[in-house]
Amino acid sequence: MFEGIATGTPSPTVDSHAWALDRIQEALRGLRFGEVTVIVQDGVVVQVERTDKVRLPRDDRRR
């Protein structure tokens, strides 16, 4: 396995990259408003967070 240049630690496997990308795609699927946050430690995706925001319809009559 390829060694990381800066740390000398093994790089993540191709399978772990594919798994992380699948999780990110899943988090993005159907998201209209919000954010997806990817947490990386030592060059490895360890967490994917999804925050949905609900936009309320504007009530122009209140002006």
What are the sequence ranges of the domains in the chain?
1-53
Residue 3, pLDDT > 50, answer no
Quote the radius of gyration of the chain (alpha carbons, Å): 18
Query: Residue 2's pLDDT is what?
Result: 38
- When pLDDT is cut at 50, 70 and 90, the band that residue 1 belongs to is very low
Q: Residue 51: name the closest of 38, 42, 61, 40 by CA.
A: 38
pTM over 0.85: no
Residues 5-60 have pLDDT tens digits of 455 555 678 888 999 999 999 999 999 999 999 999 999 999 999 999 999 998 87
